[in-house]
Structures are given as C-alpha cells and as structure tokens.
Amino acid sequence: MGKLFAVVVVLITLVSAAIFASHIWWLPVDISAHGHAIDRQLTETMATSGALFVLSQLALAVFAWRYGDRKDGRKVTAFPGGVTPMVVLAVVLVGAEILALTFVGSKVWAGIYQAPPDPNSLQIDVQAEQFAFYFRYPGADGRFGSVHPERIDEASGNFFGLDPANDTTARDDIVVPTLGIPVNRPVLLTLRAKDVNHAFYVPELRIQQDFVPGLVIPLHFTATDTGKHEIVCTQLCGLGHYNMRAYVEVMSQPQFDQWLKERAAEQ
Amino acid sequence: MRRQYIWIVGAVGLVGSALGARGAPPAMAGAISGKVTYTGTPPKMKPIDMAKEPSCAKQHATPVTTENVVTGPGNALGYVVVYISAGDPGSSAPSEAVRYDQKGCQYIPHVAVMQVSQPLEIYNDDQTSHNIHPLARVNPEWNKSQPIGAPPIHTTWEKPEFIPVKCNVHPWMHGWFLVLTTSHYAVTGEDGGFSVKGLPPGKYTLTAWQEQFGTQTQDVTISGTETKTVDFVFKARAY
C-alpha cells in the first residue's frame, strides 16, 4: 500500500509539474507595457515554489516507499536525525523564500503602481457600483464635471452624480459602460466606488486594483495591442458580484477617436 | 320552499353588490379624457448598453434607452399617470393581479399602477438572475432575488405610495409601482392620450404625475354621463 501511494504521489507530481513546465495552462496574453515585469515575477515565484513542491512531494514518496510497508509491522515513531533539525530547516528554507519573493515582488509592484503617471495620459474616470462599471471621458472641453454623490440617479443614467444644470463642464462628459482606449497611449484611470469595495481586474493588462468608497485611486497603464478583453470585479461585493463585469476595447487612435465621437453623440 | 327562495335572492344580491364594489360602471357615469404634452426641451434619453448581459442584449434589435422621460410625436408625454386624487370615495381592490415583467433586462411596464391591497405578480422572463428592489418608504421595503426560472413573486402593497423600483443586479433597470386608493386612473401612451372612465357625477381633483417633472392637478366637475376634456402641459427641462 505504501509503495502504491508513493507511485501515485510521483505521478501526480510529475503530471502537474509537466502541465506548468510546458505552459499548457499558463498566463493569458500580455497586452501591457509593464506586463513583462509581472510575468517575470510570477515565473520566478512559480519556479521556486514549484521546485519546493516537487522536492517535498518526491521526499514524501521516498519515505512512503521506504517505510510504508514494514515487514516486522512496527510503526516508525521517530524522524531519522530528530525532529528539531528538520523543522528548523523547513522554517528557514520556506521563510527565506517568502521573504525573497516579498522583497523582489514589492519592488516590481511599486515600480508599476507607485510610479507617477505619464503627464500626457488619457484620463478616464471610473465609477464602480453594485454590479457594474461606468467610464467617463471629459468630452470636447477636456474637463470633467464635478461629481456630487447625492445626485447619483440610475433612472436617468446619472451614474456619477453630475450636475449639468449648474455645471457646464459636466454637460459634454461622456459616460459609457465600456472602457474604450487607444493602443500605445498611457491611460490614467481614477477609480471611485459608489457603495462598497470593488476591484478592477484585467488579466491581459496585468492590472488589478481595488476600489474603496470615499477614495479616488489612480491607476495607470499602457495597452500595447488592440482587442477586446473582459474587466471583472475581484472583490466579493454582494449578490450580483459574479455578474459584475465590463469590457475594455483597445483600438487604434483613429478608431478610438471615431468611437468616442459616436459615444458623445449618444449622450 | 319560501325560505329557500329568500336565501337565493339574498345570495344573488350579495354577489351583485360585491361586483358593484369591484368597479362595475355605475348607471350614470361620466369620463375625463385628454392629452398630456410638454413645452421646452426634454432631456435626451440615454442608450443602455447591455453588453455585460448578452442574454438580454440579444433580445433588443434596436438600442434600448432610459425611460424616465418618454416622448411621442406632437410633444406628447408617455408614462404619465392621470388619476383621481380627491373626490373618489374609494373602492375595494380588484382581485385581478397586476403583472410586472422583467424581460430583456427591462421592467415592463415601466410604470405599473395598482390599488392598495391589489395582488401584484412579478415575473422573471430572462435567462439571468434579477433582484427586484422596490424602494418603499411608507410600505415595508424589501428586495428579493429571482434566479432564472424562479416562480413569480406574489405580493401586495397595503398603503398608497409611489415606489421607485430598481434591480440590485442591473443598475440600469428602473421602474415604478404606483399604489393608489382609487380605481379611476389611466397611464398615457406615447401619444400622450388618457381616458379616466366610470366616474359618477361629482367634483373631482385630477392629478397627472410624471416621474421627472412632478405633478399637476386640475379640478373637474362631472355631471351626468358627459366626457370632459382636460389637458396637462408639463414644462420640460433638458437638464
């Protein structure tokens, strides 16, 4: 029985390692300027934790093979060499790995999230609410109207709480449920939440950031390839969380200009 | 034999009076009809993009728009509820249920009118979950999830109130429950026309309600079986 268990453990280890090593089940395509740093970090994490996984599983198989079916029927109650050295070794090894990943990972994360946005970024305001995303462009005047949460009214499509009657800069603001952006141009999103915490996650853009009610959180990136991808909420935000999604459409600059013109005409 | 006859006559009389209380037209009944229009510039209705809900999006060949101000040719105003707000002694609620559908991720009709205690049935006809949430303040507020294929929700409202209705899953879905004490009401179509019928002679106050433009009232006196013409004109604002 011990030998059979050892064989099964080895098989499971080899098959799961092969799935990752051959990239059968791997990251989605990367369409962001910063994504290579994230991918390198993920690969390093996967390689180090994967190596530990394979080693520990093989060790498990060796012990099961060696001590699983003792003919004398006596159970092994002591670890060879004593328990303390093994525990100390495991804590030091795993601890060192976690610390190394944290330090290197924080540097990569800060290099993307803490870096100042490009001053020529296209700024888009984002409102998250149960259970949808809305995106606002400043319109022809290039200025966003001010937001007044008490004026939010879904019935008339006023998802941001604009005051067009008194605020002329709000009149030409373009509000849409799809995030249209031009390719190869820095984009700066300002994230707002109407009700509870939400998250903005586009795996292909290698971007994930929480929305927090009361805060306006900047998030910037540059998309490097055209296409349509899903934006999903990754913070459990209520009953309809599973259904909270939108799409990001990366277009060429002329296509984007045309798209924005058409959306402006609908307002 | 005679006792039995009296019993039958009494039973027939009871049924008859019950029918009368349920709004059967009285012998002498007048009516009020007219048209609701607007002056000025109404706000532009915004398109609703249902891309995130493909099962609903494919039900609409043409883009759906918000319905808070529905207009028609000749400055007609739709979804205006015209009802007797004073002068009607009131009547017991009909037993026929008012049907309210969630179809194509829209509320149909946008404005549903019912009487106090009248049964209301809410259906989910979509291949997606809805969570209907009437934002009642006078009546008890509730919100109920209705997954795909769920049975209709049967309910009533026990106090008169104008209740905005929203879906907790689809933020663009918006409608109204108007709970009235009177059985004399009409909802304008896209032509702005209405007709409130079955009014016994008397003095009435007629109120027209539009969700964004508010209410207007006019006093009307009905004598005999006449049909009075009353028009309402709302002042529209673009913003």
DSSP state of A229: E
Q: Specify the CATH number for the domain of residue A222.
A: 2.60.40.420
Q: Does B149 touch chain A (CB under 8 A)?
A: no
Q: Which residues of A touch B49 (CB under 8 A)?
A: 176-178
Locate the chain A residue with the closest alpha carbon to B170.
Answer: A131
Query: With contact defined as beta carbons under 8 Å apart, do B37 and B75 qualify?
Result: yes
Query: With contact defined as beta carbons under 8 Å apart, do B93 and B117 qualify?
Result: yes
Residues A169 and A241 in one domain: yes
pLDDT at B26: 56
Q: How far is B169 from chain A (nearest CA, A)?
A: 5
Residues A233 and A107 in one domain: no
pTM: 0.81
- State the pairing for strand pair B161-167/B174-180: antiparallel
CB contact under 8 A, A240 and B129: yes
Residue where a domain stops, chosen among A113, A143, A176: A113
Q: How many CB atoms lie within 10 A of CB B192?
A: 23
Q: Which residues of B touch A130 (CB under 8 A)?
A: 168-169, 171
Q: Which of A155, A177, A243 sits opposite B169 (nearest CB)?
A: A243
pLDDT at A216 exceeding the cut of 60: yes
The per-residue pLDDT string of chain B (239 residues; one tens digit each, 9 = 90 and over) reads 344 444 444 443 343 333 334 444 556 789 999 999 999 999 988 889 888 889 999 999 988 999 999 999 999 999 999 999 999 988 889 999 999 999 999 999 999 999 999 999 999 999 999 999 999 999 999 999 999 999 999 999 999 999 999 998 898 999 999 999 999 999 999 999 999 999 999 999 999 999 999 999 999 999 989 999 999 999 998 88
Q: How far is B121 from chain A (nearest CA, A)?
A: 22
Locate the chain B residue with the closest alpha carbon to A164.
Answer: B239
Cα distance between residue A22 and residue A20, in whole Å: 5
Helix axes A35-67, A83-113, angle to 10 degrees: 170
Domain boundaries, chain B: 28-236
| Residue B96: Cβ-neighbour burial (10 angstroms; 0-12, 13-18, 19+) | exposed
Residue where a domain stops, chosen among A88, A113, A138: A113
SS3 B26: coil
Cα distance between residue B68 and residue B44, in whole Å: 10
CATH number of B28-236: 2.60.40.420
A5-23 pLDDT, tens per residue?
999 999 999 999 999 889 8
pLDDT at B17: 39
Chain A residues 191-250 with CB within 8 Å of chain B: 238-240, 243, 245-247
Residue where a domain stops, chosen among A113, A148, A177: A113
Residues A174 and A78 in one domain: no
Mutate to test the interface with A, among B45, B49, B124, B176 (most CBs of A within 10 A): B49
Q: Which residues of A touch B64 (CB under 8 A)?
A: none
Residues A128 and A61 in one domain: no
Residues A63 and A188 in one domain: no
Range of the domain at A73: 2-113
Q: Which two tokens stand for residue B31?
A: 């009516």
Report residue A186: phi and psi, to 5°: -60, 135
Q: How many domains does chain A fold into?
A: 2
